Structure 1
Amino acid sequence: MSTAPALPASVRVFERGWLSSNNVLLVDEACAALVDTGYATHAGQTLALVRHALDARPLDLIVNTHLHSDHCGGNARLQAQWPCATLIPAASAAIVRDWDEARLTFLATGQTCGRFGFTGTLAAGERLALGGFEWEVIGAPGHDPDSVMLYASEPRLLISADALWEQGFGVIFPELDGESGFAEQQAVLETIAKLDVRAVIPGHGKPFANVEAALERAFSRLAWLRADPARNAKNALKVLIVFKLLEVRTMSFEALVAMLESAASMRAAAQQLAPRAAWPALLRELAGELSKSGALVANGERLEAPPTAG
């Protein structure tokens, strides 16, 4: 296991387990900012973590790297607690302003997120002064077409969201809908490789320093997915099944089939793997594989999250 790198005193990471993304608290005299806010059902925990860290000080700013539910699900709760400004990726502004549920990802993935507002946007090339450092906004399409990363050259620190983890990266969702995502993910990894990075704060998992090794693993995984796009679809279904189970703890197989029928991203993934009539059999196959790996417990016609998960 690698040792987590030392971070500047003004940068604090709340490492969260699934369902929530990591939260990054950046504090200086002028501003207390939180990058990503976790999942809706963990919003109370997020609020408690931030309140404890800030003591009597209010949160001034929320920054969202992208608008998947595990990264923005705490926005509404934090905005209700503090009159904080909120920055979201510029490409997502219209759908949030209109709260266009057909284009937001929450219903498509079978997940939830309370409605929130925003006061400004983030675009590639812009700079933010947070935590005593200047951060460059870097576009990071691939996992999500609107996603961004934050890079501070002075401490050589990258907040990579789901573009790079120590062991891979997030599901390439655009490819499920027949849009380009693999090429964009390749370009993002190449961009990271050109940066002078001492430490990465990923969207999930602990911060890490061996960036070269992480990139090597990510490039290898991406090549494996591109060689057979059905692999990305299968991985997406497994991730979404496990995510939902961690949220609800238990569900019937019948409910899982209904979830597949109603969630557009899951349907799109299933369509790449089997004809519609075979979807129940596909789900049983995936549930069996997840059970063998310990990601869920199959109990007759019920599926359960492992007792220690979540």
Structure 2
Amino acid sequence: MVQLPPDLVMLERGWLSSNSLLMLGDPRGAVIVDTGYCTHKAQTLALVRASLEPTRQTLRLIVNTHLHSDHCGGNAHLSAAFDGCAVWIPPGHFDAALDWDQQALSYAPTGQQCERFVPTRALQPGETLVQSDRAWQVLAAPGHDLHSVMLFDPESGLLMSADALWERGFGIVFPELDGDTGFDEVDRSLDLIESLDVRVVVPGHGRMFTDVASALTEARSRLAFFRRHPERHTRHAAKALLVFHMLDVGQCTRMELGAWLDQVRIHQVMWRLHFSDRPLDSWTDELLGELARAGALRLDGNTISVQ
């Protein structure tokens, strides 16, 4: 088991919500990095309050590594619960968040929810976030999201990698699904991580880990495979979209899922990208069958549910 210093607490709630890192030990109040998905907002607030209670502190700041719904869905609820505490986000989507442009923020194209919040200021790559005795370096980490950042504490060697590096890979490379470059950016973010003296990684999803070299090797192997077979990356992304939705709703009929998918632009974009040689519904059924055989979903007649 990886042990964090007493001033740091990782909150893990399953794959529907990103991990959060709660930074304590500062007389000004605590900082939380990423806040999970909105359907977990009450659980997130309860976990934060439980961690803060022994310290008699409040939450002074919310920081987001990027603005995907599973990383910032608790922003509004937490900010309201702690007297409208500040919210800092990466600069790339700052104006979109102010205007609440759900197309630019990816919520409408992916069919995902996020309660509106108001960012206080942009968190710029290259600056330092000081909390307690730690000086967290803000590092640009494009790839999974063009505007994503990581936080690194050189003293402890702790990296909050968001979705740039997991123990077994990295997050979906969304720019590639829209016809932009993304794999090269993933490669550069992995190079950056390798250049740091990282001793502990708090990833965006999954458990903390210390074997950074093995994680980087796994990520590079996965990246090389996706470069050779971009259609496999797209298929992986399409299945992840379906699983995320089913984790959110729990159970639905095939007709209800189809109605939802009709409103989800990215599902149709992925189909056109590599799989339009077959009807869209047939491709969707293929994906559902693969997920059922893998044990991720249960298909019972017309009913779909999570395992």
Corresponding residue for residue 208 of structure 1: 209
Query: Which residue, out of 6, 10, 15, partners 2:7?
Result: 10
Q: In the TM superposition, what is the alpha-carbon distance from 1:150 to its structure 2 partner?
A: 0.3
Query: For residues 133 and 262 of structure 2, what CA distance do their matches in structure 1 show?
Result: 48
Q: Distance in 1 between matches of 2:2 and 2:194?
A: 18
**Counterpart position of 1:47:** 45
| Structure 1 position 276, deviation (Å) | 7.9
Which string of whole-angstrom CA distances, capped at 9 and with x for unpartnered residues, describes residues 108-149 of structure 1? 111100000111111111100024200111111100111000
**Deviation, structure 1 residue 206:** 1.1
Q: What is the match of residue 32 of structure 1?
A: 30
- 23-32 or 251-260: which moved more? 251-260
Shift of 1:80: 1.2
For the 8 Å contact 1:143–1:171, the answer to whether it is kept is yes
Letter of the aligned partner of 1:132 in structure 2?
D
Rounded Cα–Cα distance in structure 2 between residues aligned with 1:264 and 1:177: 11
The answer for the alignment partner of 2:112 in structure 1 is 111
- The corresponding residue for 2:292 is 291
Give 1:264 deviation, angstroms: 1.9
* Higher deviation after alignment, 6-15 or 142-151: 6-15
Q: Helix, strand or coil: the match of 2:126? A: coil
Q: Secondary structure at the match of 2:105?
A: coil
Aligned residues of 1:16 and 1:205 also touching (Cα < 8 A)? no
Matched residue of 1:87: which SS? strand
Structure 2: distance between partners of 1:182 and 1:258? 32
CA shift for structure 1 position 277: 6.0
Aligned to 1:232: 233
Unaligned runs of 5+ in 1: none
Q: Aligned residue for 1:71?
A: 71
Distance 2:132 2:19 in 1: 17
1:235-287 deviation per Cα after TM superposition (whole angstroms, max 9, x unaligned): 11100100100110112222222333311222221212322861111111111
Q: TM-score, normalised by structure 1?
A: 0.95
Q: Cα distance 1:120–1:251, how it changes in 2: closer, same or farther (>3 A)? A: same
Q: 1:130-169 maps to which residues of 2 (within 5 A)?
A: 130-169=131-170
Residue 294 of structure 1 deviates from its aligned partner by: 0.7
**Alignment correspondent of 2:244:** 243
Change (3 A) 1:276 1:257: farther
Q: Which amino acid aligns with 1:5?
A: V
Q: Distance in 1 between matches of 2:256 and 2:177?
A: 22
- 8 Å contact from structure 1 (residues 16, 204) kept in 2: no
Aligned to 2:257: 256
CA distance, structure 2, for counterparts of residue 287 and residue 260 of structure 1: 13
Q: 1:271 to 1:122 in 2, by over 3 A?
A: same
- Taking structure 2 as the reference length, the TM-score comes to 0.96
Distance between the aligned counterparts of 2:256 and 2:46, measured in 1? 33
CA distance in structure 2 between the partners assigned to 1:188 and 1:31 by the alignment: 31
Residue equivalent to 1:181: 182
Which residue is 1:20 aligned to?
A: 17
- After the TM superposition, list the runs of 4 or more consecutive aligned residues in structure 1 that deviate by more than 3 angstroms: none
Provide the rounded CA distance (Å) in 2 between the counterparts of 1:147 and 1:12. 22
- Alpha-carbon offset, residue 57 of structure 1: 2.4
Structure 1 residue matching 2:129: 3-state secondary structure? strand
Secondary structure of the 1:246 match is helix
Shift of 1:31: 3.0
RMSD, aligned CA: 1.2
Answer yes or no: is the 8 Å Cα contact 1:245–1:305 preserved in 2: yes
Are 2:128 and 1:127 aligned?
A: yes
Q: Report SS of the residue matched to 1:269.
A: helix
